[in-house]
Amino acid sequence: MSQTYGSESPRAPRQTSHRKPARYLVVIESGGFILARLFLDTREQVAEFDAATEEAAQMMAGLSPTKGAEGPEWDKALEGHSVAERRAADVYTLDV
């Protein structure tokens, strides 16, 4: 009988560092589409998707947005958006 018969034993779990959680959800119009963009607390973008998805609605549930993302902290993160788009954006601070 072969020594390789059967299933391999499970390996011990590795302790790897997790990604930082998203801190901000910005709902912003871009070229006629409403986007949901997720950012870390450093304003680094980690995801972008259609704001009409169920996931976006679940993230926004029970949270009150701040109107506008015009501050200097958003300049680099939202540099591809016009001033009007940034002014109309809704910024949600997510519970971490």
Q: What is the pLDDT of residues 57-72, one digit of tens each?
A: 999 999 999 999 999 9
**What is the reported pLDDT for 3?**
66
**What is the C-alpha separation between 67 and 25, in angstroms, rounded?**
12
The string of pLDDT tens digits covering residues 27-47 is: 999 988 999 999 999 999 999
Confidence of residue 17 (pLDDT cuts 50, 70, 90): confident
- The residues, any chain, with a CB within 8 Å of residue 24's CB and separated by 6 or more, are 38, 39, 40, 41, 43, 91, 92, 93, 94
pTM over 0.85, yes/no: no
Cα(29)–Cα(43) distance, integer angstroms:
18
Burial of 3 (0-12, 13-18, 19+ CB in 10 A): exposed
